[in-house]
Chains A and B, each alone.
Chain A
Amino acid sequence: MSETIGVTITGKKIVLEFPREEFGVLEPREIEREVLNDLRRLKAVKEFSLGKISGRELIRLLGPEKALSIIEAKKITEESVKRAINEYKASL
């Protein structure tokens, strides 16, 4: 398994990044596994954002380091928008 393969999945593209010297020697199955992993992560983050899964479940799915950053990112997004809503209400 390559330690340096990177996968970015967006709405339109799947971008694979790996060192040039690994091109041609990477197993297709390895690429498939990375793409599937990324899709699973994307799904987990989306479900967490929508409140469908808990932080505890996110930690189980992504590991503590990634999950804690995502939990904090959700928190600051919610708090910042709530502040903007309160400022809006106060301005009425």
Chain B
Amino acid sequence: MSIKQVYDTTALLSLSLIGKFDLVRKQGIIVSVPISVVEEVVEIAKYKDELGEAAKGLLRITEGAGAAERVEIEQVELKKEYKSLAERIARFPRVDRGEAEALALAYQIKAKELVIDDVPAIGSFAGLSKIIDVETVPSSYVLVRAYLNDALDYDETKMLLKELSAKRGWEQSVLYETAIVMLEEAKKVKC
């Protein structure tokens, strides 16, 4: 069964950092992003550091790769009323334009989930996402879900979560360390 997810830049880059963005295709996930997120990824791809490489990898797999490897990302323009909502969300503390537009887009297209790895923004979205009925989830959830769907095995999932915890900063590590704990729950259910 396919599900609709909206991604913000941090979550796209997390999956690309570990070379696993193709997991979305393997799980039948329809990925949508607002235009501002595409602009952020293009901007980050100009840098020669690890995140810059992840952004380049993401652009390759979504634009340049052959049909077999390509992962489609829907770039969606916000309608006027949702653009205005995004502008108001962007005034929240610790929320940037890309994150605000991603949440507004999730609301606009009635996406099941907003995938976001920005911890300060997650904190700021806590109340609003419930009101507009959008589940906020981290990229680590996508990995554990892939394990439950047999797209990854247990060892690989754990290794990827540890890799993300090591590659991202101290604040974001909560998303991956918690998922490692929850992966054990998933393993018990699967075995």
Interface residues of chain A, those whose CB is within 8 Å of chain B, are 8-12, 38, 41-42, 45-46, 48-51, 66, 68-70, 72-74, 76-78, 80-85, 87-89
Contact = CB atoms under 8 A, between A and B. Distances in A.
B122 interface: yes
Contacts of B185: 81-82, 85
Contacts of A81: 141, 144-145, 179, 182-183, 185-186
- Which of A8, A10, A51, A82 is packed against the most chain B CB atoms within 10 Å? A10
Interface stretch (B30-38, B70-78, B99-107, B170-178): B170-178
A73 B175 contact: yes
Contacts, number: 108
B137 A80 contact: yes
Nearest to B168: A10
Nearest to A40: B170
B177 A8 contact: no
A88 B174 CA distance: 24
A72 B178 contact: no
Main secondary structure of the interface of A (DSSP, over half): helix
B181 interface: yes
Given A10-B168, A45-B177, A80 B138 contact: yes
B122 A73 contact: yes
A80 B171 CA distance: 19
Given A73-B123, A77-B141, A45 B174 contact: yes
B137 A76 contact: yes
Contacts of B122: 69, 72-73, 76
B22 to A, nearest CB: 19
A89 B148 CA distance: 10
A11 B162 CA distance: 9
Nearest to B137: A80
- Which of B163, B174, B189 is packed against the most chain A CB atoms within 10 Å? B174
A4 B124 CA distance: 23
B170 A49 contact: no
- Which of A8, A11, A77 is packed against the most chain B CB atoms within 10 Å? A77
A69 B174 CA distance: 10
Nearest to B186: A85
- Which of B123, B124, B138, B186 is packed against the most chain A CB atoms within 10 Å? B123
Given A70-B119, A82-B185, A84-B144, 20 more contacts: A9-B169, A10-B166, A12-B167, A42-B173, A45-B177, A49-B181, A68-B123, A70-B123, A73-B119, A73-B123, A73-B175, A77-B174, A78-B178, A80-B135, A80-B138, A80-B141, A81-B144, A81-B145, A85-B186, A88-B148
